[in-house]
Structure 1
Amino acid sequence: MSTTSNPYRGYRFPAEIINQAVWLYHCFSLSLRDVELILAARGIIVSYETIRAWSMRFGRAHAKTLKRRRPKPGDKWFLDEVFVRIRGKLHYLWRAVDQHGNVLDVLVQSRRDTKAAKRFFRKLLKGLCYTPRVIVTDKLGSYGAAKREILPGVEHRQSRYLNNRCEVSHQPTRRRERHMRRFQSVRQAQQFLATHAPIHNHFQLRRHRLSASEHRAARDRAFATWRDATGIALT
Structure 2
Amino acid sequence: MLSQQVVFSFFGLSVLLALAPGPDNLFVLTLSALRGPRAGLWVVLGLCSGLVVHTAAVALGVAALFAASPLAFTALKFVGAAYLLYLAWGAWNTPALSGNGTALDSTPGLTPLQAWRRGLVMNLTNPKVVLFFLAFLPQFCSPAQGHLALQTLALGGLFIVAAGITFSSLALLAGSLGRKLQTSPRLHSWLQRGAGAVLAGLALKLALTTR
TM over 0.5: no
Which is strand-richer, 1 or 2? 1
Q: TM-score under structure 1 normalisation?
A: 0.24
Which is helix-richer, 1 or 2? 2
